[in-house]
Amino acid sequence: MDIQKVKVLLTKAEIEAKVKELAQMLSRDYSGKNPLFVCVLKGAAVFLCDLIRHMDINLEVDFMAVSSYGNSTTSSGVVRILKDLEYSIEDRHVIIVEDIIDTGLTLDYLRENLLSRRPASLKIVALLDKPERRTVEIEADYRGFCIPDEFVVGYGLDFKENFRNLPDVCVLLEFG
13-149 CATH, one of 3.40.50.1460, 3.40.50.1820, 3.40.50.2020, 3.40.640.10: 3.40.50.2020
- Catalytic-labelled residue, pool 50, 102, 129, 168: 102
62 as an active site residue: the answer is: no
Per-domain boundaries in the chain = 13-149
Q: State the DSSP code for 25.
A: H
| Nearest alpha carbon to residue 170 among 18, 19, 11, 9 | 9
Whether residue 99 contacts residue 43, with contact meaning beta carbons closer than 8 Å, is answered with yes
pLDDT attached to residue 48? 98
Rounded to whole angstroms, the Cα distance separating 141 from 3 reads 33
Q: From first to last of the 176 residues of the chain, give the pLDDT tens digit.
A: 555 688 999 999 999 999 999 999 999 999 999 999 999 999 999 999 999 999 999 999 999 998 775 555 555 567 889 999 998 999 999 999 999 999 899 899 999 999 999 999 999 999 999 999 899 999 999 999 999 999 999 999 999 889 999 999 999 998 76
pLDDT attached to residue 63? 97
Whether residue 97 contacts residue 64, with contact meaning beta carbons closer than 8 Å, is answered with no
